[in-house]
Structure 1
Amino acid sequence: MAKLPVLPSGDEDDCQRTAIEGLGGVGKTQIALETAYRIRDVQPECSVFWVPAIDTTAFENAYRAIGQQLKVPGINEEKADVKALIKSVLGRESMGNWLLIIDNADDEKLLFGDTALADYLPFSRKGSILFTTRNHKLGLRLVESENHIIAVEEMSRDEALKLLGKNLKGSQMSDTRSNNALLEFLTNLPLAIRQASAYMAKEQISTARYLKLCNSSDEDIVKLLSSHFDDRHRYKNIQNAVATTWLISFQQISDHDALAADYLRFLCLLAGKDIPHSLLPPAGTLETVEAIGTLKAYAFISQQNESDSYDIHRLVQISMLSWLDGKGERQEWTAKVLERLNDIFPWPKHENQEEWIRYLPHTQHALQLRKRTDDEEATTGLLSKVGESFRNLGKYKEAEQMHRQALQLREKVSGKEHPDTLTSMNNLAGVLDSQGRYEEAEQMHRQALQLREKVSGKEHPNTLTSMNNLALVLGSQGRYEEAEQMHRQALQLREKVSEIR
C-alpha cells in the first residue's frame, strides 16, 4: 500500500494520477478501497470520491452524487451537464485536497470513444486520481507514465489460506494438502478463492471435495467458475463469477483488437506453458506486437523477460474454452490450430529435435481436442509426427499408440490401399520392431509390401523401402538367409531402376 502515490502531489503543473492494474478478480478494487480508508485516517481533511466506470450511467450517477454531496448549484436540474459541472468544481483550488477513485476503468471506448468520459476527469494540483484497470495499455494512456502504474502482486499463500477459510469451518479445511493444492489450482486469485469459499460454505463440502470437482472435467470447472455468489465487496448489478468477469474482458478485446482476440482463441487450445511465438498464425510485425501487447495488458498471457514464448493463465484458458463453446466456435478453432501445427511441425529427426521438442506438448494437447474437429488430414499428419517424436525419444508405447491411431484414421479417410495409409502401416511396423515385437512387425511389413506391390508396382521406391524394412526385421529374428535374399532382391531392383533412369 505504501507504494501507491495517491496523495495530492502539490505540483503546480500536475494532478497526480496512479493506476492499479491486474487480472480481473485479483483484488484491485479492494486495494483502492483500503487506500481510501487509509487516506481518511492519515489526512482526514482530504475528500475522497468513488466513481465506477462500468458504463456511462454509473459514471454519471456517481458524479451526480458527488455534486449533491458538495451542494453544487444546478446539479439536480434536468438538463444539467453533470460531468462538466463536477470537472469544473474539482478543478478549483478552493476545493482543497481530494482523491478521485475511478474503479473498473477497463473500457477504452467508454473513456476515449464517443462518450469520452476521460474528458471529464478533473485537473487540480491539489487533486489526485486513482484508477483500477485490467488493461495495462489503457492504464498507461490514463496516467501517461509507467512509473505511476502499480501491478497487483500475487497473493501470498498465507493470505490466500486466510481468505479461503474466512467462511469455512475448521473441519472443511482439515486436509492441509488439499488446501494448498486447491489454492495452487486457483492461482491464489482472490475472486476465485472467495467464489470457491462461498460454494463450499453453501454446499457444506470440504476443500478436498471441491478440489475433486475441479479435477473431474473442464465442464465442471467452468460451472464452478461460472457460479454466481453474493459478494458485498463488489457492485450489486455485476455478476461476481470469475468466468463471467473475464467474459467482459474477452468481449472488450474482440471489440478493440481482432488479431489479439484470434490469438487468444488460438492460445487457449494449446498447452498453457512455454508456447513458442513461432506457433502463432503469421501476421504483420506491427499488428502482432500490438496484439501480443493487448493480451499481456489484460494479464491473460505472460512473457518471461525477453523470451520468445508465452504462458496463458490456466483459469483464463478454461474460461476461454467455455466462451468458444458458447459461441459455437470451438470446433472451428480446433481445426485451425491443428492445421497450423501440422504446417509448422517438421518430420522429427535428430538434427531438428530442438524445434519439434518445443512443439510436442502443444501438439499433444491439441490432439486431445480433436474429437471436436473434422480436419482429419491435419490430425493424421500430427498423429504420425507425434508418434515418430516419441519413437525418437525412446517412448515406444506412446509411439505405438499414436501410429495406430494414425493408421486407423488413414484407413477410414483414404482406404487401405492409399499410399499414405501404407506409410502409416510402415511407421507402425517400425515402432513394433523397436520394441522387439518382431513377429508383429514382420506381419505388418509383409502386408505393406504386398499392398505397395499391388498399388505402385515392384520397382516403385516405396515398394523397395518396404522390402528393405522386411529384410531388416527378418535379420533381427536371426533369419539371415531370408533377410539376405530380400536385400539382394531389393538391390537388384534398385540397380535396374537406376539404369533405366
Structure 2
Amino acid sequence: MGEHEVGTTPPSIPTGSAFGRVQGRNVIAGQSISGGTVNFNFHAGKDPSTRRPAYRLFPFPRNEDVVSRVTLFAELDQLLPRSGASQSAALWGLGGSGYAYYARLRRSLADNFRKTQIALEYAYRRADEEPACSVFWVHAEDETTFVSDYKNIAKNLKIPTNLDGDELLTAVRDGIEALGPYVLVLDNADNLTVFGVGRDRAAGDENTAGGMARNLFGFVPRHSGTVLWTSRDKRICGSLVGAKRAINVTRMTESEAMALLETVGNKKIDESELDNAAQLLAELERLPLAVSQAAAYMRRTSTPIGEYLSRLRRPIKRWKVLGEAEFDRHRRQQTSNNVMQTWDISIEHIQYENPMACDILYSLAFVDNQNIPFELIAKIAEIVGRLARNEEAANAEPADSRDQDENQDDDDILGAIVLLQDFSFLHLRTSGERYQAYDMHKLVQEATHSSGYYKSIS
C-alpha cells in the first residue's frame, strides 16, 4: 500500500471489483481495498518527509450523498471535540435503530440504518477535517473479530510479524497511540464481557490459564486520540465509557422516517399517499431498518404504499413482507438486513446471560405490547423460577429456603427486567409505588415469535 498526498482528484475512481466505483466530490486518490477494508495511507501536508503518515482503514467506502441526523452528530461533536486529548464515547440502542441513509439504495450497506453507519460517517468527517488524523476500524463482536482486525492494523503499521497473542495486541495499541491524533471505532461491542464488563474479576484471574477468554479492554488505546464504541447494550454507559458519554440512538422522527421512505423508494410520495405513508411508518414504529426494507420492497415490486400497508396488516402476508431481505453486495455476510432477524443476536445473548429474562421476553410476545404491568412480569418470573428450582435448593431447611427464595426471586426479577431494558426490549412506561408498567416494540414481539427460540412454560 503506497503513500499519497491529498490532492485534487476526478469525481470518480475505480476501487476494485468488491465495491465498484466510489463517486462524489471528496474522493481521495491512491486507495486500495484488502479483505473488505478500504485502506488509505497518506502524508498530511505537501512535504511528506516532515510528517508521520495518517492511516485510514475504513470498512466501506463513503457515499457522498449521505443525509444524517444533525442533532445526533452535534451531540457526537460535543462529546468528541477535535483535539489531541484522549476521549471516548459510545452509541447504543436497539439493533436497527441507527439512522443514516443514502439517495442511491444500491450503494447502501447492511448497517446503514444502524449505529454502525453513524460511526462510519463520523470517522469520515474527522478524516476530512483533520488530514493528520488516522482512522482505524475494529469489529468488536467477539475476541475472534477483534484480534483479526488488530492483525490487519499491525500489518498496515508494519509491526513485526513474529509477535502473537497479547504481545501483538499490546504492540498495536501502543502503535496507534504513538501516531498522534486518531479515531478508533470499536463496532458492535454487544457482548461487553469480552471487555471485562460483568465479569467476576477473581474468577477471571483464577481461570485465565484454564482457557477463559481474556479481557480485551486493556488493549484499547487510551492516549492521544478518540475511541468511539457502538453497542446494543446500555451497560456500556458507565463502564467502558463515562455515564454521560453515551448517546442513545432512538427511532426516527416522523419527518425523518418520511424522508427515508422517499429516499430509499426513489420517488416522491404523492399527496394522495401521505396518509397511508404516515400509517405505514406508525406500523413500523419508525425503525430505520424496517422503513428502509419496506421502501426497498415497494420500489422493487412497484407496490403502492396503500397496498403494502394492507398486506402488512394481514397476519400471513405480514410475516412474508417483513421477512423480505434485499441483496446487498456491500454488506458484511454475517450481517442480516432482514428486520425480523436483526434482533436475533440480542435475543441469543440474553438467552446465554439470563435465561429467565429470555423466558419473560418470549412470554410477553403473546400479550398486548402496551402498558404491560409489572405484576404480570413477576408472575412469569415466578413460574420460571419454580420450574428451574434445583434439588440443592429443595434439600435446604424449609424456613431458610423460603426466605432465600423470596429474596432471590426479587433480585432475579429485577435483574431480568433491567437486562431487557438495557437491550431496549422493554421501556418503562409509568413508575410509582402502586403501579409500574412497561411497553415493548411491536416488531420486537414479532421478531421473538419468528426467532424460533420460544419454549412453552406452564
The TM-score normalised by the length of structure 2 is 0.65
* Cα distance change, pair 224–142 in 1 and its aligned pair in 2 (3 A): farther
Q: Which residue does the alignment assign to 2:317?
A: 220
The percentage of counterpart residues that share the same residue type is 32
Which residue type is aligned with residue 315 of structure 1?
L
- Which of 124, 137, 141 is residue 50 of structure 1 equivalent to? 137
| SS of alignment partner, residue 194 of structure 1 | helix
- Which of 159, 168, 184 is residue 100 of structure 1 equivalent to? 184
Q: Is the 8 A contact 2:90 2:236 kept in 1?
A: no
- Which of 303, 310, 317 is residue 445 of structure 2 equivalent to? 317
Pair 1:297-2:422 in alignment: yes
Q: Which residue does the alignment assign to 2:353?
A: 256
Distance 1:59 1:84 in 2: 13
1:251-400 aligned within 5 A: 251-280=348-377, 281=379, 282-283=381-382, 284-304=409-429, 306-307=431-432, 308-323=436-451, 326-327=452-453, 329=455, 332-333=456-457, 336=458
- Which of 112, 116, 123 is residue 29 of structure 1 equivalent to? 116
| SS of alignment partner, residue 418 of structure 2 | helix
Q: CA deviation at 1:139?
A: 4.5
Q: Note the alpha carbon deviations across 1:329-373, whole angstroms, 9 max, x for none.
A: 2xx24xx4xxxxxxxxxxxxxxxxxxxxxxxxxxxxxxxxxxxxx
1:97-176 aligned within 5 A: 97-112=181-196, 114-116=212-214, 118-143=216-241, 145-168=242-265, 170=267, 175-176=273-274
Q: Note the alpha carbon deviations across 1:282-323, whole angstroms, 9 max, x for none.
A: 552222221111111111110036351000111001111222
Of Structure 1 and Structure 2, the greater helix share is in 1
Q: Is the 8 A contact 1:8 1:97 kept in 2?
A: no
Of Structure 1 and Structure 2, the greater strand share is in 2
Q: CA deviation at 1:80?
A: 8.8
Q: Which residue does the alignment assign to 1:17?
A: 88
Q: Which residue does the alignment assign to 1:38?
A: 125
Pair 1:206-2:304 in alignment: yes
Q: Is the 8 A contact 2:323 2:340 kept in 1?
A: yes
Which residue type is aligned with residue 26 of structure 1?
S
Pair 1:83-2:169 in alignment: yes
| SS of alignment partner, residue 73 of structure 1 | coil
| SS of alignment partner, residue 210 of structure 1 | helix
* Cα distance change, pair 102–79 in 1 and its aligned pair in 2 (3 A): closer
* Cα distance change, pair 311–82 in 1 and its aligned pair in 2 (3 A): same
Moved more, 193-202 or 104-113: 104-113
Q: Is the 8 A contact 2:371 2:429 kept in 1?
A: no
Q: Note the alpha carbon deviations across 1:148-173, whole angstroms, 9 max, x for none.
A: 11111321222211211223254875
Higher RCO (Cα < 8 Å, 6 or more apart): 2
Which residue type is aligned with residue 230 of structure 2?
T
Q: CA deviation at 1:255?
A: 0.2
| SS of alignment partner, residue 310 of structure 1 | strand
Q: What do you get for the CA RMSD once the two structures are aligned?
A: 2.5
* Cα distance change, pair 82–164 in 1 and its aligned pair in 2 (3 A): farther
Distance 1:127 1:97 in 2: 5
Which residue type is aligned with residue 186 of structure 2?
I
Structure 2 stretches lacking a partner, 5+ long:
1-72, 99-114, 200-211, 383-408
- Which of 155, 159, 169 is residue 72 of structure 1 equivalent to? 159
The TM-score normalised by the length of structure 1 is 0.59
Structure 1 stretches lacking a partner, 5+ long:
337-501
